Amino acid sequence: MSTMYAVRAHTRGGPEQLVYEQAPRPEPGPGDVLVAVKAASMTPHELTWPATWTHSSDGTGPDRTPIIPSHEFSGVVAASGAGVESPTEGEAVYGLIPFTRDGAAAEYVALPAAVVAGKPATVDHDHAAALPLAALSAWQALVDHADLQAGQHVLVQGGAGGVGSYVVQLAAGLGARVSATAAAADLEFVKGLGAEQAIDYAHDRFEDHVSDVDVVVDLVGGATQSRSWSVLKPGGILVTLSAPPDQQEAARHDARGVYFIVEPDQNALRSIAELVDNGRLRPVLDRVLPLTETRSGYEALETGKRRGKIVIHVAD
């Protein structure tokens, strides 16, 4: 059996369970590609998701430990399973791995060919790996769920984070007027991403600065989500990745509330790659770590604020 180096968890838990070790190299099944991973990236709370540990998204399926985390990647196709015509061996690709499969904190990953797309040509693998989950979340929030139109006003709750930094850029690129909340140290950073207005959430109430908002993208949850209804105009929409919104509050404000979990989407990844290559969307990296330090990266996700994504550099 061929082996590889990977970061795995043999028992459910947090970053303390992650171990760098040799593991069996996966083989591509029918419809799969085997990718030699060049870089992967991490997502907050990933180790708490039921899908990370089982064969079903709701956690009711069989346990599949040991597991490999990090479901965003960039790499090169090393082999293809039966029935795969594209992508071809040697092609640079990136993508979002289904959450019920092993991730990319490893030298190789096998995943469905139908969910990968050609890597953006103008950035390296480290930067490409920072895109799939975060940029797809932004795309699905703004395009698929909010149906954002040019000239509309968007409020991004949490504009400097791994997903928020893409929501701000994409909304601005689609012609919207963007306001965003962020920490004081990140206000200029968020403006540089395309926000016309950046609000210090620790010292200013966003309700005092924005109103008649068409779309709220909530990446914070809790009280921030509850307070966001008051700034929406009638007919507006609150889209959240944090927690299902209160539908009674939505009705009381003549608004809609949508909660969603990001899904792999090959066509959207192609559109995102085009935006990157046209200079309209830039990957945002907080830091790059070697595969051997994956555990410390997940620890950092739990302890501090970040600008953009934490990326694992797997191979040159």
| Residue 151 within a domain | yes
**25 and 112 together in one domain:** yes
**201 and 247 together in one domain:** yes
**115 and 151 together in one domain:** no
**308 and 226 together in one domain:** no
| Residue 271 within a domain | no
**100 and 160 together in one domain:** no
**154 and 251 together in one domain:** yes
| Residue 79 within a domain | yes
The residue that leads in pLDDT, 1 or 268, is 268
**56 and 150 together in one domain:** no
| Residue numbers of the domain that contains 293 | 3-131+283-313
| Residue 241: per-residue pLDDT | 93
| Residue 289 within a domain | yes
276-316 pLDDT, tens digit each: 999 999 998 999 999 999 999 999 998 767 788 999 999 99
**11 and 126 together in one domain:** yes
Per-residue pLDDT band at 234 (split at 50, 70, 90): very high
| Residue 274 within a domain | no
| Residue 58 within a domain | yes
**179 and 233 together in one domain:** yes
**119 and 149 together in one domain:** no
54-105 pLDDT, tens digit each: 988 887 888 999 999 999 999 999 999 999 999 999 999 999 999 999 999 9
| Number of domains observed in the structure of the chain | 2
CATH number at residue 190: 3.40.50.720
CATH number at residue 119: 3.90.180.10
| Residue 178: per-residue pLDDT | 98
What is the chain's mean pLDDT, rounded?
95
| Residue 111: per-residue pLDDT | 97
| Residue 304: per-residue pLDDT | 67
pLDDT above 90 as % of the chain: 91
Query: Does residue 239 contact residue 145 with C-beta atoms inside 8 Å?
Result: yes
**115 and 13 together in one domain:** yes
| Residue 276 within a domain | no
| Residue 306: per-residue pLDDT | 75
| Residue 264 within a domain | no
**59 and 34 together in one domain:** yes
Q: Of 221, 244, 259, which residue sits at a domain end? A: 259
* Cross-strand partners of 216: 155, 238
Cβ neighbourhood burial of 66 (10 Å; 0-12, 13-18, 19+) = middle
